[in-house]
Structure 1
Amino acid sequence: MIARPLLEQHSPLRVTAWTAAIGGAVLLPSACIAGWTVHGAVRHTLSWVSLGHSVLLVTVGGLVVWYQAVSRAGSASVMLWMLAVPVAAALFAAATGAQPLNWSQGAGCVLVIASLMYAQGLVPFSRRGSRSARDEVVSRG
């Protein structure tokens, strides 16, 4: 994680604020150009409310939580759990009826969940979760 050294010196909120400000400044010219449609500028209130929700709650709020997790758990551990995001998205889409879960998505979900459990030592066949034969011999005396 590029932000890891920054999180050692600054709060997650401050890192998020600066990354959002720099990203916004870079993207603002493109947004101004893209904001014009064939019919003129977008003036729908719902569009602006949706954009505000996306920026403030999803992006800023999500990044603050993300950076807090990285600063506490470490980037390797947090990135490992990022593999669960597609699983959650597929299960959420199936639960809400937006998209049926087909066999390949189901198999992928099972594979990702099994991999995460293996990496955390939560399954009996995991090297982390089981004691080696050498450890058993040593413990027997």
Structure 2
Amino acid sequence: MNKKWLSYTGLVLVAVIWGANFGISRLAMESFHPIVFSFLRFGVAIPFFFLILKLTEGSIGVPWRLVPKLMLIGLLGITLLEITVMYSIKYTTLANASLLNVAPWPIFVALFAPLFTRETITSRLVVGGVIAMIGVCFVILGGDEGFALSSDNMLGNAMAFGVSIIGALFNLSSVSLMKQYSALRVSTWTILFGAIFMLPLTIGSWGQTDWQSLGTVQWLSIAYNVLICTVLAFVVWNACMFKVGATRSNFFRYAVPAAAVVAGYILFDERIAMLQLGGAALMAAGLVWISIERKKA
């Protein structure tokens, strides 16, 4: 069995984890301020990252010359990206945010890839990517909200579209570092700096959470975000992305909305339309087509 299938499986697994987190985070947002919750997700994860890094690689340090680049990546891919995602959801519909966050992301990765890597765009990647993109559009637009073109949503739409650009640059800059350092080391330090930059933004927000009234659901949502959605997911995604390439791997983000729809059905009894089921099947077909490796002569 081609070892790359393990990487593709890892990408799908992480996409499902991130998709399910839409529903889990929605439950948590009823009790937490969004910026505080985002900081807790990354801030609490930092000790786990450093502990795993020490146990698996024997050291935790990075060269001083690398620190400015890690700081910039953390600011871009953790602080700025997370805040932009949060406010894009606030200023537009969930359907708009989902579509504009997810659909253009792999396209920007493909466009920017020559600046960071030597990846090439193949016809198989283009065909599979287009099929998967059409499928994810059906998944998102097949819901009750649809796509809203109201002028009230323009700011949120622009921010959601910007998420795709920021995210693509974040992925590619991380991959360029993984040629010298492990995915775990890169993830550990970028998340550390991202959380440091995010901390000042939480000032004045901590008192808006009634900590004494938090129940099992809220604490479990934090645990899921820290251990599963951040520690496990970031390491697995970065490692798999390095194996199969940033351009190819980012098309697997299209599985995130499908997982979010299932989470909405399980947690909030939201309806799943036939168009969404058809879109999920089409998206899966596109991703499988991308994953199939032809034997070279």
- Superposition TM-score, scaled by structure 1 size: 0.68
Q: Which amino acid aligns with 1:55?
A: V
Equivalent residue for 2:211, pick from 43, 49, 52: 43
Question: CA–CA distance in 2 between the matches of 1:121 and 1:55?
Answer: 33
Deviates more, 1:95-104 or 1:57-66: 95-104
Runs (5+) with no aligned partner, structure 1: 123-127, 129-141
Residue 186 of structure 2 corresponds to: 15
Mapped contact 2:175–2:242 kept (Cα < 8 A): yes
Q: In structure 2, what is the equivalent of residue 79 of structure 1? A: 250
Mapped contact 1:20–1:60 kept (Cα < 8 A)? no
Where do residues 33-112 of structure 1 align in structure 2 (5 Å cutoff)?
Answer: 33-37=204-208, 42-44=210-212, 46=215, 47=218, 50-94=221-265, 98-112=269-283
Whether the aligned pair in 1 keeps the contact of 2:175 and 2:241 (CA below 8 Å) is yes
Is the partner of 2:178 in helix, strand or coil?
A: helix
Larger Rg over CA atoms: 1
Which amino acid in 1 is paired with 2:257? P
Pick closer, same or farther for the CA change 1:119–1:17 going to 2, 3 Å: closer
Once the 2 structures are TM-superposed, how far is the Cα of residue 30 of structure 1 from its aligned partner? 1.6
Aligned counterparts of 2:184 and 2:276: Cα–Cα separation in 1: 35
1:27 has 2:206 as partner:
no
Structure number having the greater helix percentage: 2
105-114 vs 2-11, greater mean Cα deviation:
105-114
In the superposition, relative to structure 1, how do residues 35 and 4 fare at CA in structure 2: closer, same or farther (>3 Å)? same
Question: Gaps (5+ residues) in structure 2?
Answer: 1-171
User: Which amino acid is the alignment partner of residue 271 of structure 2?
Assistant: P
Cα distance in 2 between the residues matched to 1:115 and 1:82: 12
Once the two structures are aligned, what percentage of the paired residues are identical? 27
Deviation at 1:15, TM superposition (A): 0.9
Distance 2:277 2:223 in 1: 34
CA RMSD, aligned part only? 2.7
One-letter code aligned to 1:88: A
